[in-house]
Chain A
Amino acid sequence: MSVYIFHILIMTGIFAILALSLNILAGFAGLVSLGHAAFFGIGAYLSSLLMINGLGFIPAFLLSGGITSILGLTLAMPALRVKDDYLAIVTLGFGIIMGLVFLNLEITGGPDGLTGIPPVRLLGKPLYSKPGFLGLVSGILALMIASTWMLKNSRIGRAWAAVRDNDTTASFMGINVYYYKTLAFIVSAFWAGLAGSLYAHYTAYINPHTFGMHTSIQILSMAVLGGLGSIAGSLIGAFLLTVLPEALRKLADYQDIFYGALLVALMVFRPQGIMGRVKITDIFGRKS
């Protein structure tokens, strides 16, 4: 019993990091990405490959975040030439390209994925216990929440909010719009990469299937359902959308219908999400 609950909570924690990292992009800076699972995958593959090739867990973990954030920067450069719905399509394309890269490279194991990924090692000991791993995930999530909260309430966070609400006005106010948007991409990719590393070492097996479009949509659903622009919202969204499919297991054939209906109902009655103040249509539908 408890192991199953711990498994679900660990998955919730990993997806909470992902949802919150997407929220930095979409909720704080108004940049909707449909390719977020690609960053998740890059982190997962990088961390696994680094550790398989002899690096310790902590350097592999940090490097996976660092290198993913550099890739976030390289995506930001072409992607930020367009806005809103066009940006969503560019990121969607990025997600598809990365999916194909994972599928076709020799080093990523192609469609077979990577097996035998070493477990997390802390203080020289492999971390197999589920409560222990949950502790690790919670710790990193807590660090992320704290740093995101500080960012949100800093000069950077206020600049992001200005860019999100109206980037033309923001640039008249002397805010370097391009700089802040790029920064959002870098921070967001960094955390998504770390989430990927945690996921890979937790499951010990990854394949391209996990990092496809449907995962990107799942992460976006968590962020939107919980509420764009709200830190607590991302956590609730991740919790609900990880636990719900499991809770609905008993309904077997009707599982997906209930799941879909619940999503629709929530969006109809609370389009801004459970905790949020920003509607996704505010980002897509605005005139600037």
Chain B
Amino acid sequence: MKNILWSAILVTVMVFAGATSLYAEDIKVGAILRLSQGASDGLPAKRGIEIAVNQINAKGGINGKKLVVIYEDSKDSPQTAVAAYQKLVSVDKCQVIIGPMMSGEVLAVAPVAERDKIVVITPNGTSPKISQAGQYIYRGCTTSERQAAALTKYAKDKMKTTAVAILYSNEPYGKGCNEQFTKYFNELGIPVVISESFMVGDRDFSAQLTKIREQKFDLIFIPGYLQETAPAIKQARQMGIKQASMGVFGDMAPKYIELAGKAAEGHLNCSEYNEDYNTPVNKKFKAEYYKIVKADPKEPNNIMFAAITYDMTRLVADAIAKKGYSADGIRSYLDTVKDFDGVTGRLSFDNDGDVNKQGVYLFEVKKGKYVKVQ
């Protein structure tokens, strides 16, 4: 009995200790990011928020109050994301949350946030279902729908593609991309000759690639996360698939080129962010981000994720400064904001809470670097 009592007391103390607030005067914003699993995406996202917070606080904070962001790890799990959400909202009293990052987690948090009337802004959940997830749910990246439109058009007009093979990741992101891109390819009169799937965590794609190799096509499209898409293209090249390759958003990282090596050459995909975007805000942001990356060799380098969260944090801060700290105030600001000077473009939101920018940028790998096309 002593054991039980002891452990119960220990646990209760730990929970309550975690509940004490830092400073009552600060403005607290929550962030649910991928900080353990998938940290190579989550850490850059965290850096983006940090850069924005430092800049805002250096200028005196929001109406004289310091901005503090409380980070929680989603561990790539919808269930953990919901628990993190509950903690941020009821313990830390956050009215707005940046994150979660994966579509599945966003869809899990969305109904609860909608009921609680808490603003949730996902930086990179691309699932089309998020558009309809609720009035309090916003997203900072373009939907996979718009990405699909841009990429398929480029494939037809510039690459003269006549037939496509698809190898997709069987989770919400990859599967959603498979369906949308197939729709767009069909509309453009380009047949999808084969569509094979793999699972998250897979390292061997030879079964699917063998089937794909037997088909006639001139573009292979591999939507998913780079942990699988990079080894997949590498293996495809080893098996003699020489056709052009195309990916999505998730591949837009130096890590992809590092993992895929020479197989990445010519890989086409789209990004939310153009490093050469010529505005003072962007130049300053870029310099600060690369300072962090250069200072620590272990720091994952992915400026695109940092750029999106940087913009979202500044939007949230601006909303609080103008409309006060309440979810409904932030919502009314986001709904009416026009041409916000972000590093990813001039931002506004449509009726579904999806961000509007000037457009999607397309990139191609040339000599181990992403180079903008178009």
> Does B115 have its Cβ within 8 Å of any Cβ on chain A?
yes
Residues of chain B in range 1-37 having any CB-CB distance to chain A below 8 Å: 3-4, 7-8, 11, 14-15, 17-19, 35-36
Residues of A within 8 A of B73 (CB): 249, 252, 255
> Does B41 have its Cβ within 8 Å of any Cβ on chain A?
no
In contact, B107 and A112 (Cβ under 8 angstroms)? yes
In contact, B14 and A111 (Cβ under 8 angstroms)? no
- Point out which of B71, B110, B127 has the most chain A C-beta atoms below 10 A from its C-beta: B110
> Does A103 have its Cβ within 8 Å of any Cβ on chain B?
yes
In contact, B18 and A249 (Cβ under 8 angstroms)? yes
The secondary structure that dominates the B interface is helix
- The listed residue (A3, A11, A113, A244) touching B90 by CB distance below 8 A is A3
Residues of A within 8 A of B110 (CB): 115, 205
Q: Per-position contact with B for A208-231: 1 when CB-CB < 8 Å, else 0? A: 011000000000000000000000
- The listed residue (A203, A207, A243, A252) touching B172 by CB distance below 8 A is A207
The CA-CA distance from A128 to B114 in the complex, in Å, is 12
Min distance, Cβ A17 to any Cβ of chain B, angstroms: 16
Min distance, Cβ A233 to any Cβ of chain B, angstroms: 9
Min distance, Cβ B178 to any Cβ of chain A, angstroms: 11
Q: A1-B90, A4-B90, A274-B7 are in contact. Are A115 and B72 (CB under 8 A)?
A: no
In contact, B77 and A205 (Cβ under 8 angstroms)? no
In contact, A240 and B7 (Cβ under 8 angstroms)? yes
Min distance, Cβ B168 to any Cβ of chain A, angstroms: 10
> Does A204 have its Cβ within 8 Å of any Cβ on chain B?
yes
> Does A7 have its Cβ within 8 Å of any Cβ on chain B?
yes
In contact, A7 and B86 (Cβ under 8 angstroms)? yes
Residues of chain B in range 89-103 having any CB-CB distance to chain A below 8 Å: 89-91, 103
Residues of A within 8 A of B83 (CB): 7-8, 11, 246
Taking CB as reference atom, which chain A residue is nearest B82?
A203
Q: How many contacts between A and B, using CB within 8 angstroms?
A: 112
Residues of A within 8 A of B318 (CB): none
> Does A70 have its Cβ within 8 Å of any Cβ on chain B?
no
Contact size range, A: 35 or more
Contact size range, B: 35 or more
Residues of B within 8 A of A5 (CB): 15
- The listed residue (A115, A209, A243) touching B15 by CB distance below 8 A is A243
Taking CB as reference atom, which chain A residue is nearest B91?
A4
Knowing that A111-B104, A112-B172, A209-B78 touch, tell me 16 more A-B residue pairs with CB under 8 angstroms.
A1-B90, A4-B86, A7-B90, A112-B103, A112-B127, A112-B175, A116-B111, A203-B111, A205-B78, A205-B110, A207-B107, A209-B79, A240-B11, A249-B73, A252-B73, A275-B4
Of the A-B pairs whose beta carbons lie under 8 Å apart in the complex, a sample of 25, sorted by A's number, is A1-B19, A1-B90, A2-B90, A5-B15, A7-B90, A8-B86, A104-B170, A110-B175, A111-B104, A112-B104, A112-B175, A112-B176, A113-B104, A113-B107, A115-B110, A115-B111, A128-B115, A203-B79, A205-B78, A236-B4, A240-B7, A247-B18, A249-B72, A250-B17, A255-B36
The 8 closest A-B pairs by CB, nearest first: A3-B90, A247-B14, A4-B90, A204-B111, A7-B86, A205-B108, A111-B171, A112-B172
